[in-house]
Amino acid sequence: MSEAPLTSLPRVAFVGGGNMARSLIGGLVRQGTAPDHITVAEPNAELRAALVRDFGVTAHADGVTAAAGADVVVLAVKPQVMRAVCESLRPVMQGGHVLLLSIAAGIRMEQLDHWCGGNLAVVRSMPNTPALIGAGASGLCANARATAEQRRAAQTILAAAGVVVWIDDEAQMDIVTALSGSGPAYFFLLAEALEDAAVAQGLPRDAARLLAAQTALGAGRMLREDGETAAVLRQRVTSPGGTTQAALDRFAAHGLREVVADAVAAATERGRELAARSGD
């Protein structure tokens, strides 16, 4: 599901210097990418200065200047402005064999390619907010014009902030968005609910918050490191007739699985709607 990363990156330009771009830039620099191989376009002068100060990269106010001469252009702007940004980059993108890498939700590769002038190598990705602490999960898919080397470059960029999974069918990227893109909010909601429930039972708020957060962290690590499925791990901690069984029975009685399935389906459908609204 993943490819071997590059030992070094070609020149990369980030168009947009917000939190997600910052997390990727920081991860790349920490892993040994030379700062002079990275440029950033960020109109906010304060954010621009912070990127230069913290990472030693070169920053510009506009995307065309930042992207000139880049091998990979990372689109790290909001979906609402993506079309205008792509159209402004047409002269740069049509000037050579450049990889266009998008981290925006809901924008199809065909749309990105069209807005930038056509016939481009495009990789679409969906990272999530834990990338900000190096614990992200990103789904990637590539169009037919992306070479193996370009795919490895895209993987290296996203892997700087966490785990990378390649998706063959772009239609499934809406599911990735609903699962891992939006997923942190689901776990935050569960932690919030657990904290509130423990407080309602009489536990102090600080203790409830710490225990809920650490339990989520420990469970996540077991899912990644134990090697067993979530179902097996759940069964291991569930003694018949015990406290865990009592809680799980109540979850089942209230249709937890059905609620989760409906929620993921709703998020998936919303992703499709957003793509349709973005136009051709």
User: Residues 72, 11: contact at Cβ < 8 Å?
Assistant: yes
- Which of residues 7 and 160 earns the better pLDDT score? 160
Question: 247-279 in b/e burial notation, b at 16+ Cβ within 10 A?
Answer: eeeeeeeeeeeeeeeeebeebbebbeebbeebe
If you ran DSSP here, which 8-state letter would residue 102 be given?
E
Domains of the chain listed by start with CATH number: 12-173 (3.40.50.720), 183-275 (1.10.3730.10)
Please, how many CA atoms are within 13 Å of residue 259, restricted to the half-sphere of its CB?
8
Over residues 68-93, the pLDDT tens digits come to 999 999 999 998 899 999 999 999 89
Over residues 104-158, the pLDDT tens digits come to 888 999 999 999 999 999 999 999 999 989 999 999 999 999 999 999 999 999 9
User: Residues 170, 196: contact at Cβ < 8 Å?
Assistant: no
If you ran DSSP here, which 8-state letter would residue 68 be given?
T
User: Residues 13, 41: contact at Cβ < 8 Å?
Assistant: yes
User: Residues 145, 122: contact at Cβ < 8 Å?
Assistant: yes
* Mean pLDDT for the stretch of residues 238-254: 96
204: left (phi over 0), alpha (psi -120 to 50) or beta: beta
Q: Report phi then psi at 157, rounded to 5.
A: -65, -50
User: Residues 32, 54: contact at Cβ < 8 Å?
Assistant: no
Mean pLDDT of the chain: 92
User: Residues 66, 15: contact at Cβ < 8 Å?
Assistant: yes
Q: What percent of the chain has pLDDT over 90?
A: 85
